[in-house]
Amino acid sequence: MLQGARVLLIIGGGIAAYKALDLIRRLKGAGVAVTPVLTRGGAEFVTPLSVSALAAERVHQDLFDLTTEAEMGHIQLSRSADLVVVAPATADLMAKVVGGLANDLASTLLLATDKRVLMAPAMNVRMWQHPATRRNHETLARDGILFVGPNAGEMACGEFGDGRMSEPAEILDAIEAALKDGPAALPLMTSTAVVRPALPGPVNGPLSGRHVIVTSGPTHEPIDPVRYIANRSSGAQGTAVAAALRDLGARVSFVTGPADVPAPAGVEVIRVQTAAEMRQAVEKALPADIAVMAAAVADWRVANASDRKIKKDGKGNLPVLEFAENPDILAWVSQLSEGRPELVVGFAAETNDVVGNATAKRARKGADWIVANDVSPATGIMGGTENAITLITADGSEIWPRMPKEQVAQRLADRIARAM
């Protein structure tokens, strides 16, 4: 799929720029032609010589390079690739694109391109969580820009949280997914409307014209700015469900917590951190014909979360965490008096009496279906690549054999399509 593709790679400024070298190596190994653009900040972390050697191409750095303008101007450069990739995408570069600035080569190329753009954000956790960055991220996603990551982990600055750039292998997968979806371009502004790229999937598929909300991944409930409560959900199953529904022609609003796997291409991606943010995002995405609540939402949040890092006092005194219940998103959607989706599908991750607990959950929440699975550590399902589910409906329970999560998603999507 990647053989013969052309990628314009913009390397932003940040310690994660070193990962761009591995990404170039992987792209070249897959038969991709890479045209590198190195920002001034990026050149502080990787050298033009190393980038050029790996890409086997000249590195572009200067907007006002007269030789480049004579041979391949920035307009042609912005349109000569099949996909534009920004890795790392810094908070500054994202803000420039939102503001329509074009004061260096990278921002000018992003403003001038007519090709799809994939960004891999990388920044300090507080920068990523800042309201300005979140607004910029949401704006870019609405404008049709694709994202992979960021991931959670330890930062070069010593803090821990979301903001680590996705690993090169993940970015490569996201690039392949973006290229697989075809030559969609960025939306063009006209005097009357925004023309958005067509979503992939069969135009006349069984879910064509249907709007589906899919929630996915874990939620992160802050303890302090560097710690949080979460679970081991990777988001793989919810991501696969969103892709399968997309492939049946549905318009998918994908509300995802900080998952380990990249969001699927061709869907509207709404990224959240906490259960409260997920509840708000789902409400904003309504109305919908179908809701698939696959997210592993934390049941509780820390009511007395600190606005600064909690320190050990050296005397053995332990912090006291006060917990409060998070909103029950599945129950709220299932019990809407107005605007309830025709079909509401919930998920139940259980460690014992799977069918009994899931059946009780369906009745208690008011969902139409419950997809139940055993997530005991011995199963390897939570965070793994396979799943073994029991589908609970008003007609009873149906056991599905263990299979890859993509196959589970396809079978569930087909079942949903038949029910509509």
Which residue ranges form the domains of the chain, and what is each CATH number? 6-191 (3.40.50.1950), 211-419 (3.40.50.10300)
Determine the residue type at 346: G
Q: Is 327 annotated as a binding residue?
A: yes
Instruction: Determine which of 216-225, 258-267, 300-309, 407-416 has the lowest per-residue pLDDT on average.
Output: 258-267
Q: How many helices (H) and strands (E) does the chain have?
A: 14, 23
Residue 181's φ and ψ, nearest 5 degrees, are -75, 0
What does pLDDT average to over the chain? 86
Q: Is 328 annotated as a binding residue?
A: yes
CA gap 122, 14 in Å, rounded: 7
Are 162 and 228 spatial neighbours (Cβ–Cβ below 8 Å)? no
Q: Per DSSP, what are the bridge partners of residue 164?
A: 151
Residue 283, both tokens: 């409400």
Compute the C-alpha angle 189/184/163, nearest 5°: 90
Residue 107, both tokens: 């921002």
Which residue in 250, 295, 289 sits closest to 272, CA to CA? 295
Q: 3-state DSSP call for residue 156?
A: coil
Determine the residue type at 400: W
Residue 72 has pLDDT above 80, yes or no: no
Catalytic residues: 157
pLDDT in tens, 223-246: 999 899 998 888 999 999 999 999
Model pLDDT, residue 185: 46
Average pLDDT over residues 254-272: 91
* Cβ partners under 8 Å of residue 298, min gap 6: 218, 219, 220, 221, 229, 230, 231, 275, 326
Residue 355's φ and ψ, nearest 5 degrees, are -65, -45
Residue 276 has pLDDT above 60, yes or no: yes
Q: Is 314 exposed, middle or buried (0-12, 13-18, 19+ CB in 10 A)?
A: exposed
Q: Is 329 annotated as a binding residue?
A: yes
Comparing 382 with 220, which gets the higher pLDDT?
A: 220
Please identify which residue in the block is written with the tokens 């800042």.
130
Residue 99's φ and ψ, nearest 5 degrees, are -80, -5
Preceding peptide of 150 cis, ω within 30°: yes
Average pLDDT over residues 125-138: 87
Are 262 and 174 spatial neighbours (Cβ–Cβ below 8 Å)? yes
Q: Is 365 annotated as a binding residue?
A: yes
Residue 199 has pLDDT above 60, yes or no: no
pLDDT range class, residue 176, cuts 50, 70, 90: confident
Q: Is 315 annotated as a binding residue?
A: no
Q: Per DSSP, what are the bridge partners of residue 208?
A: none
Comparing 138 with 1, which gets the higher pLDDT?
A: 138
